[in-house]
Structure 1
Amino acid sequence: MRQYKKVLLGVASIVLIIVLAACGNIDDSSSSTSSSGKKTTSVQTTGQVSKSEYAGVIKNGHYLTSKARGLTANRNSNSLNITSFENGLLGVSKSYYSTSNYIFQEGQYLTTAKLTNWLGRKSKSNPTGLNPKDNGKKNSSRNPIYVESIEEQDFMQKNGNSLVLKGITIGIAMNTIDYYQKIKYGATYQQTITSKERVAYGKKVAKLIVERMRKIKKIGKNVPITIAMYKQAANDSLVGGSFYAKTQTTSSNISNWEKMNVENKVFPEISSTSDYASNDNKSFENFQSQIENYFPTISDVTAQAKYVNKKITGEQVTITTQFYSETEIISFTNFIAQVAPKFLPSGVPVNITVNSANGIQAFLSRSSTQRNFKSHVFSSY
């Protein structure tokens, strides 16, 4: 299962690079990324590999990376949380900033140093900490760490030869379980955070973040700021967490929240309880049976499915096996491409990864508008 988690994160990274870099369609116009529209440096925008995805920003010939790059990954023990958080946040952004009118830019206003302080406990030495002061307790009455991670996404528009900031999305990942140690290098304990506590504390934190961002001169008082609240899954969860609320403000206040009914499920489900995902689970079990009967060295076939308002919106399938020749991998990939359309959900994007202890062996994908899968076998040469 550890390999399954690593592959999901690796595939997500590959997809994000393809989507945002799109280096075959670089827009050669020079521009700058200031809110005032003044030219400061040479910037290019990438093309779009799909109308459903954003063009990105290239600065001085290089992809413009986040000022807090890697912070979310370094703070998280479950790679599925990272994948769900980062990919889901991009999905939230699309509901406010259309891919046809906005250009995606990695966060440039919240640095690693600033966010590290914000994610710490509030104290005399760290007055900007968003997590509560340490009350000295070592049991369930301790003040837990509520806020686990913060992610920034910027959205730009062209103004002549310049890029101008037109919107920001902030993702706030809230813990459902706080893992802590009573002594350094000692045993790890768990403190459960109730839904009521998490939601209430998250609203306070969101308000503080908006107020602080309004004080950043380059952002200003009126640029739309979208906030998306995310609940972390447990460290040992087989699925990532999910977003539960979102809002947008053009001031320093947050007036209302929109509830998000998002849930991730892992197939095959152990529980036989009938619910809205039961038919999808049965179809996956049939797919699993076909795959496992094809070749004797299949060790694991699993999937993570995402549901919004109890409707499936995407599925990530991972098949773990060991093939010893290129022809076996090719034949197996062709077989999957024939079987998958019969059992896996239609009308939603589906990715299938075939991996072994040595890494990814093949990758298949299908968009929401396609029936057949495109595939690629990773050769050993």
Structure 2
Amino acid sequence: MKKIAVLLSVFMLILSACAPKFEKEEEIVQQTDNKQQKAIIPKYNISDSYYRTILPFSPGEARGLVVENLNTRLDVAEFESGLMRIAQERFSPKDYLFQEGQYLNKKTVESWLKRKLTKEQLKEKKMDESENVGLNPMMSDEGTNEEKNKKSPIYLAHIMEHDYLVKNNDEKVQLGGVVIGLAMNSVHYYETEEGYPREVEIEQEVIEREGKRIAAEVLSRLRKIKGLKEVPITIALFKQQPATSIIPGHFFAVTHVDQGSSSIDDWEEVNEQYYLFPSDEAEENHRDDMMKFLNFKSDIDEFFPNYTGVIGRAFYRDDQLQQLTINITMQFYGEAEVIGFTQYVTGLVMEHFPDYINVNVYISSASGPESLIIRKANEEQPFVHIYQ
């Protein structure tokens, strides 16, 4: 009865806290080159860590390519959300508005992602050197397809642009900075002449070297685009995971280029990493955190015989655990069992994991999502939702 009362109080808190306070939007003028247009800034912001988006919404010119070019849905989500996280170091959500990239269109991104063509290929395609804009290494004409791919793998998987807008002294909104994400392959996939799938693992040292080389060329090209000659530009390098991975990749380096500069002076290390719980890698590098997870998992195993799986995805920044996402798959036989199990797991979350980390628990069955538990860092009460 005590657990039910606690859960009901949590639900009441959620209902009262989650009702948004709607305020009148702010009407402004957006300055784009020599053009001006009316726009709206939403007053309500769901979190201080999220950027407000200027309205009407302007889709990015290369929208949708990220899904085609990255290996997994996890990489797609982390590449975009992580790029926003990096942007906050230079462009505060309090002062800047977010807009999808408006300068790199689909055709440009697709052409930059190609291999650089050889002189023979240019001649065959009747193209001149100015059109030879591929950022990935050219493929040699000699050797088997396997030999050529091993020697010259595809390094750059995707380019993403985010624009950040800011008010000027005339209360007009204009471009205040650009953030570019370069997604680098950790594995290059290809086929032999006979059509057999093959892969080449790319060493971290090579990924870093090629990423920084490509970043310098991208910066040079950006400065030649109308509207980007003077704005501050941030470029971040992302290492995507193999296609079989169940954890996302991570950013590993970032550079901030000052207004008007066309050169990269230095790079900063981005110390981020995802770990799978349980795994040998997590046990070796973060044993204490994984033991907390294993004790949590053990308590579920002991009291619920229908248990089928508990998997954790831990996000570390500067070697400190920031967020733990747990997926639990169960076989349920009724609504009462879902409620009882969710109550029990909520208690375990509060008991096993320190309050300085964010914990998200997704409980599902063969029928789909069953319930959700979110415990934000330093909050006494979790958010609990049972799907109807």
Class of the TM-score when normalised by the shorter of the 2 chains: 0.7 to 0.9
Structure having the higher Rg:
2
Please give the TM-score of this superposition, normalised by the length of structure 1. Answer: 0.85
Q: For 1:31, which of 19, 29, 32 is the aligned residue?
A: 29
Greater Cα offset, 294-303 or 255-264: 294-303
2:289 paired with 1:280: yes
Deviations 1:310-358 (A, max 9, x none): 1112111111123243332222222222110111242122211112333
2:25 touches 2:40 (CA, 8 Å); kept in 1? Answer: no
- CA-based RMSD: 2.2
For each residue in 1:36-77, what CA deviation from the matched residue of structure 2 results, as whole angstroms up to 9, or x when unmatched? 6x5224444453112222111221xxx333222221112223
Of residues 133, 141, 145 in structure 2, which corresponds to 1:138? 145
Match of 2:179 in 1: 169
Deviation string, structure 1 residues 276-298 (Cα, Å, up to 9, x no partner): x1100000011111223333222
2:185 matches 1:178: no
CA distance in 1, matches of 2:21, 2:154: 40
Cα pair 1:230 1:242 within 8 Å, conserved: yes
5+ residue gaps, structure 2:
1-19, 126-130
Which residue pairs with 2:54 in the alignment? Answer: 57
Query: Aligned partners of 1:25 and 1:75: how far apart in 2?
Result: 39
Question: Aligned residue for 1:187?
Answer: 196
The alpha carbon displacement at 1:93 in A equals: 0.8
What are the equivalent positions in structure 2 for 1:102-141 lying under 5 Å apart?
A: 102-123=96-117, 124=122, 127-136=132-141, 137-140=144-147, 141=150
Shift of 1:190: 0.8
Determine which of 304, 315, 340 is the counterpart of 2:313.
Answer: 304
**Aligned equivalents of 2:29, 2:289: Cα separation in 1:** 47
Q: Which residue identity lines up with residue 362 of structure 1 in the other structure?
A: S
- What is the aligned-residue identity percentage? 31
Q: Give the match for residue 314 of structure 1.
A: 323
1:227-269 per-residue CA deviation (whole Å, 9 max, x = no partner) reads: 1111111111221111111011021111100112221101012
Take 2:248 and 2:44, find their aligned partners in 1: how far apart are those partners?
30
Contact 2:71 2:242 in 1 (8 A): no
2:9 corresponds in structure 1 to none
Going from structure 1 to structure 2, the CA distance change for 1:133 and 1:372 (only over 3 Å counts) comes to same
SS of 1:110's equivalent in the other structure is coil
TM-score by length of 2: 0.84
> For residues 164-216 of structure 1, what are the alpha-carbon distances to aligned partners after superposition, in whole Å with 9 as ceiling and x for unaligned?
110111111111110111247x2210112122222111111101111111111
Structure-1 residue corresponding to 2:278:
268
Residue pair 1:51, 1:99 contacting (<8 A) in 2 also: yes
Equivalent position of 1:234 in the other structure: 242
Distance of 2:336 and 2:26 partners within structure 1: 43
Shift of 1:368: 2.0
Q: Which residue of 1 aligns with 2:8?
A: none
**Comparing 39-48 and 340-349, the one that deviates more:** 39-48
SS at 1:254's partner residue? coil
Distance 2:225 2:321 in 1: 39
More displaced 10-residue stretch of structure 1: 238-247 or 38-47: 38-47
Q: Distance in 1 between matches of 2:84 and 2:76?
A: 12
Sort the Cα spacing of 1:355 and 1:31 in 2 relative to 1 into closer, same or farther, 3 A: farther
1:323 paired residue among 329, 332, 338:
332
For 2:107 and 2:75, locate their aligned partners in 1 and report how far apart those are by CA, in whole Å.
22
Contact 2:167/2:173 (CA < 8 Å) preserved in 1? yes
Tell me, in whole angstroms, the C-alpha distance in 1 between the residues paired with 2:282 and 2:234. 38
